[in-house]
Amino acid sequence: MKRHNNKLSTTHMIMLSFLIAIALGSLLLSLPISTASGHPTPYIDALFTATTSVCVTGLVTLPTYCTWSIFGQIVILVMIQIGGLGIITILTGILISFRRRLGLKDRILIQDAFNLNSLSGIVRFIKKVLAGTFIVEGAGALMYMTVFIPEYGLRGIWISVFNAVSAFCNAGIDIMSDNSLCPYALNPMVNITTTLMVILGGIGYVVWWDVIRVSRNFPSRKFKCFSSLSLHSKIALASTAVLLIVGTAGFLIFEYNNPLTIGDMSFFDKLQVSFFQSMTTRTAGFASVPQQNLTNTSAVFSLFLMFIGGSPVGTAGGVKTVTIAVLIFSATAAIKNKEELSLFKRTISKQAISKAVAVVTVSFMIMFISTILLSAVTNASTIDIAYETVSATATVGLTRDLTPKLNIWGKIIIICTMYLGRIGPISLLIAFNTKKKKNIIRDPEEKIHIG
């Protein structure tokens, strides 16, 4: 008799780890000790909050600043940190701290979780990720304290720490008010700190180490720093810069005369708010202007930016900048009738193109089905529903004030969307990395018509 292999695959382990974290978090948040009022929160809202925290989305049905006690806020912050870094990373860090030796299966799990190309240097990579994360979050908290301690006193320390972790993990949850960072739309320190934290978290750890490596050789390489970067880093950095510039210009033009957003501001303030909106739509989730006040053109433009998201191997969501860049240039190459795709004088493998197609297709299907289902149970405008579902799929956290108004079915749909949006692309990439036996026998090939 054949023995059945009941061992969980890497994909199942990562999916299960997110589910366990969400389940435990929701149970803790449903306790009376987690609420500011001392009365238990309805479980559906506790589950929604746990999901949005672990999936680092940021959509909330209840105001975080007044609903949850300090204990509840700590639970939320821990879930955000776990969701941003990944449960596998946290557990591995604990094992390393206790000097436990990682086995081959542990290393493969980490490799798949971060979509790394090699098993070598896994332990060093995890140490650098954890150390880099806490250093950046600590620096961000200190920068926030210059604003929040004078305003909130000692409570400003906790607010600063919470905001720093939330911003770095691209969660977009805050504990100051029910209108996000709108009161600080024109505060340069809050804007700069939030922007730095979000971009550093969303650019990806691989890019960090690559930039640091090249920077060490700066005196000898002079102005050849960019050319010395890896292809991944070049695409990620170039895509991020282009999207920030295009996004800022787009919002500045579309909102220039809108009195509900930036219409009555000076040009510098308009530029500042437009840049923040361009940055935050890339899965940060903080809002410096009410999203429901955006023009329809800006809202549709935001959908595009939210769907793209940040860069791979970081804390951001979305289909990722590198994915979109590969698809765009692949389409361009096909139009020019080129057999291979080349970027920065390097050839992109066909497997990478297949990954990009799969990730975008699956993410689009999640978003599309979620939009249809939410439309069936929610009496809201199409643009508000699309904004909600794209935000949930890409784990952004921006809403046109629809999240607090969701009924129980709407909450369930968005919970599922946030979870699938978070683990879907990861599972796909792991599936692509799984070695499969080559087919010796191939089916006959036949031409089809495309387009």
Handedness of CA 262, 264, 266, 269 (dihedral sign): negative
The CA-based dihedral angle spanning residues 62, 64, 67, 72, taken in that order and rounded to the nearest 10 degrees: 120
The pLDDT of residue 207: 87
Kind and range of the H or E element at 347?
strand 346-348
Q: Which long-range contacts (CB under 8 A, 24 or more apart) does 141-144 make?
A: 143/189, 143/192, 143/193, 144/189, 144/190, 144/193
* Beta-bridge mates of residue 343: 346
Integer Cα distance of 198 and 204 in angstroms: 11
The pLDDT of residue 126: 80
* Beta-bridge mates of residue 346: 343
The pLDDT of residue 4: 47
Contacts of 401 (CB under 8 A, 6+ apart): 290, 291, 292, 384
Integer Cα distance of 394 and 283 in angstroms: 7
pTM (two decimals): 0.88
- 129 alpha carbon, distance to own chain's centre: 16
Residue ranges of the chain with per-residue pLDDT less than 70: 1-11, 87-88, 91-121, 218-224, 425-443, 447-451
Contacts of 128 (CB under 8 A, 6+ apart): 205, 209
